[in-house]
């Protein structure tokens, strides 16, 4: 190297210039030892490996959480689909009797009724309880049964009555599905105010506003009307007793309009508490 003062050539390790005596100052750091470099290289490799492992672990956790989230969402969706399918199937089964009743032509003999509905009617029920409920000449019952108040009955039954000339003059749907969970029917907060029923509206619209399903529908040919019977119960504020009522809504079949509505209280307390 050269002396910065006089330019004299000096040994690379010289501390003072041999010509002018100037002190040699250098900015170079002392060379690292081979051992130190190895330690630092090893530490750098370990740090990089640790970072890669942390990144890999974090990525795996995120991937697992994503998979768990997708699986949980799939389970929720599957449960919702199953509930929808069950409810739709139940609604279809419960509505089967009502659709059959709508197809029954009144004023015709049983052969024509069976031909028009594509259903075979029997003259006896498979359930002894049905015979105690209503008298009938012909009956068609659902394939499946349910239990209402400890009594086994079909899910629904359509019963027919004939007049003196052997034509069908009355058809009734017994929809036991509507009272399967509680023989007292739907529970309401209060007694239904009959003034809220809109005369001239359709029965479907009336049912939606009431939130009730008929447990009996009666079609008669003599006056071309149908009577829809709904059962419900509520707690009386004064006595704190449970009140059960049947609501009867009459529909003009020709016009398809609600024309009348009355109700009556079911005296089930006499049945339960009576001595006879």
Per-residue pLDDT of the chain (276 residues), as tens digits, is 777 777 777 777 777 777 777 777 655 545 555 666 666 666 666 666 666 666 667 777 787 788 888 888 888 777 776 655 544 455 555 589 999 999 999 999 999 999 999 999 999 999 989 988 889 999 999 999 999 989 999 999 999 999 999 999 999 999 999 999 999 999 999 999 999 999 999 999 999 999 999 999 999 987 889 999 999 999 999 999 999 999 999 999 989 999 999 999 999 888 778 776
| Residue 201 resides in a domain | yes
Residue-level pLDDT at 271: 78
| Model pLDDT for residues 160-171, shown as the tens digit of each residue | 999 999 999 999
Position 120 scores a pLDDT of 95
Joined together, the tokens standing for residue 212 give 């009730």
Distance CA 264, CA 199 (A): 19
* 36-92 pLDDT tens trace: 666 666 666 666 666 666 666 777 778 778 888 888 888 877 777 665 554 445 555
- Domain of 235 in residue numbering reads as 182-276
Q: Tell me, yes or no, whether 249 lies in a domain.
A: yes
Residue 244 lies in a domain: yes
In a domain, 121, yes or no: no
Distance, first Cα to last Cα, the chain: 131
CA 34 to chain CA centroid, Å, is 74
188 belongs to a structural domain: yes
Residues ≥6 apart with Cβ < 8 Å to 157: 97, 125, 130, 139, 140, 141, 142, 173, 174, 176
* Structural domain contains residue 146: no
> What pLDDT sits at residue 39?
63
pLDDT at residue 80, rounded to an integer: 72
The CA-based angle 169-171-172, given to 5 degrees, is 145
What's the confidence (pLDDT) of residue 65?
Answer: 80
225 domain-assigned: yes
Which pLDDT value is given to residue 43?
Answer: 63
The structural domain count of the chain equals: 1
* Rounded-to-integer distance, Cα 28 and Cα 202, Å: 101
The whole-number pLDDT of residue 41 equals 63
Q: What per-residue confidence (pLDDT) applies to 145? A: 94
- pTM: predicted TM-score of the whole model, two decimal places: 0.67
Residue 88 lies in a domain: no
Residue 155 CA to residue 49 CA, distance in Å, equals: 70
């Amino acid at each position: 190297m050269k002396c910065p003062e006089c330019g004299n050539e000096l040994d690379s390790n010289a501390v003072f210039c041999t010509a002018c005596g100037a002190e040699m100052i250098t900015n170079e750091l002392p060379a690292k030892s081979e051992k130190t470099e190895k330690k630092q290289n090893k530490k750098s490799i370990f740090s990089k490996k640790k970072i890669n492992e942390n990144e890999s672990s974090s990525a795996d956790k995120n991937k697992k959480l994503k998979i768990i989230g997708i699986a949980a969402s799939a389970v929720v969706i599957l449960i919702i689909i199953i509930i929808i399918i069950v409810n739709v199937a139940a609604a279809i089964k419960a509505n089967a009797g009502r659709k059959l009743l709508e197809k029954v032509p009144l004023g015709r003999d049983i052969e024509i009724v069976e031909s028009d509905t594509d259903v075979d009617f029997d003259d006896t029920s498979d359930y002894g309880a049905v015979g105690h409920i209503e008298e009938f000449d012909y009956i068609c019952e659902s394939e499946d049964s349910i239990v209402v108040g400890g009594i086994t009955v079909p899910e629904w039954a359509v019963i027919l009555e004939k007049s003196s000339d052997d034509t069908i003059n009355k058809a009734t749907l017994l929809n036991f599905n509507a009272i399967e969970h509680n023989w007292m029917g739907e529970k309401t907060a209060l007694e239904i105010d009959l003034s809220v029923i809109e005369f001239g509206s359709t029965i479907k619209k009336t049912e939606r506003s009431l939130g009730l399903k008929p447990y009996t529908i009666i079609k008669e040919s003599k006056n071309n009307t149908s009577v829809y019977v709904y059962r419900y119960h509520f707690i009386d504020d004064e006595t704190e007793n449970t009140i059960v009522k049947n609501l009867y809504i009459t529909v003009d079949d020709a016009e398809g309009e609600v024309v009348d509505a009355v109700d009556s209280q079911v005296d089930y307390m006499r049945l339960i508490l009576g001595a006879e």
